[in-house]
Chains A and B, each alone.
Chain A
Amino acid sequence: GESVGLHLPTLSVQEGDNSIINCAYSNSASDYFIWYKQESGKGPQFIIDIRSNMDKRQGQRVTVLLNKTVKHLSLQIAATQPGDSAVYFCAENENTGFQKLVFGTGTRLLVSP
């Protein structure tokens, strides 16, 4: 598969555990945030998003928390499964008028059966 990062921070968990992946974003003016999952050999896939007027949003087995005071974003995955093994990226829309998402460098999640 494609190598997306040789020196990524790695989180190793057991199947069934809850996982928390953290992200520090850079721009206090950012108003929209997204978490993506990238499996080996594939493009990033959307998981969940949150706007800056919220501090928590829940999806199926996933929760995103936003702390604007410290510019911190986290992704919580409940009852982690082997299929959750992937690289996870946070992305921010910096609300500068330039239409781009700025991506973090990613965290590798390894789930052991």
Chain B
Amino acid sequence: EAQVTQNPRYLITVTGKKLTVTCSQNMNHEYMSWYRQDPGLGLRQIYYSMNVEVTDKGDVPEGYKVSRKEKRNFPLILESPSPNQTSLYFCATSISGANVLTFGAGSRLTVL
């Protein structure tokens, strides 16, 4: 089954404790991206990757890092989480470019 898998689905952490949200896809998609979803603000892009070793900033990249060492994985790293990073995070992929995106189920992150 074609899918985008995110882990963890839910996480409560404390300010400053580094965490990684993983994203894996089994569709051989070149394009992968991370969005955060906040009430009243909709979905905003954090980072995206056009292919292995190619990443670029989206609209709200501050406080986040990504890497794309393999085609199937695109982890989102919060080196020092802060409460304003409390949000619902989605990984999304497409065959190429920002076209029809397939989304993961989401990761709810709470930073205390």
Contacts and interface: CB of A to CB of B under 8 A. Distances in A.
Q: Is the interface of A mostly helix, strand, loop or mixed?
A: loop
A101 B42 contact: no
A2 B88 contact: yes
Contacts of B40: 5-7, 105
B50 A99 contact: yes
Contacts of B35: 103
Contact of B98 (A3, A6, A42, A99): A99
A33 B101 CA distance: 12
Nearest to A46: B100
A72 interface: no
Given A49-B100, A93-B99, A4 B39 contact: yes
A101 B44 CA distance: 9
Contact of B42 (A2, A42, A49, A105): A105
A42 B106 contact: yes
Interface string A29-51: 00010100000011111100100
A100 interface: yes
Nearest to B41: A105
A63 to B, nearest CB: 18
Interface residues of A, number: 26
A101 B90 CA distance: 13
Contacts of B74: none
Given A2-B88, A105-B41, A100 B103 contact: no
B42 A106 contact: yes
A89 interface: yes
B21 to A, nearest CB: 14
Nearest to B40: A7
B59 A100 contact: yes
A105 to B, nearest CB: 4
6 contacts: A5-B42, A6-B40, A43-B92, A44-B103, A100-B33, A106-B42
